[in-house]
Structure 1
């Protein structure tokens, strides 16, 4: 018997939610999730089509430090899986996770740092 297309999508969605640490929250509604959990759902959604490049605009902006570290751990795993992450942040402790950091002012690059000692 062939698997219905919707069944494959559901399996993929469940796999991605488990990948970002939300396997235990599969039946919860968005209002029942914490800010960090909602952010992880957004990351799982961004991975649905298996992109090679992920654009993340302030992914830890409204999170506490523990949730921020969890999100950055997910991004590190994605980078290890050969995905390119372009992340925008105003937080130096989040930028410290990156191998390459570009500093912008008035729309122009004013400085670049390369970090060989990643977290």
Structure 2
């Protein structure tokens, strides 16, 4: 069985029935989906559909970039909506303009999130 280190997280990669307990015990369990057993797929946190283990470094970079974009999205939307609320409370922003401002903020978040599409595998 896995022995967790005192520092750092444990990642386990497996594809068979005998790997299921280790996949479950690990901090992050990764199953090979194409040839993997059903039990391994059910207990894993991540399933590699194409069984291309060489993609793992790219997937780690992609997930870090996604988390960064999500944090930026949250901060921008909070700032944008806070300014809109303050302007509405002061009477400067009409209800219709407030609704439009909210929709513009939502579109900004979606467009910023769309930037993840341009992440390359290399």
Q: For the superposition of Structure 1 and Structure 2, which TM-score range results when normalised by the shorter chain?
A: under 0.3
Considering fraction of residues, name the structure with more strand: 1
Considering fraction of residues, name the structure with more helix: 2
Q: Which has more radius of gyration?
A: 2
What TM-score results when the alignment is normalised by the length of structure 1? 0.24
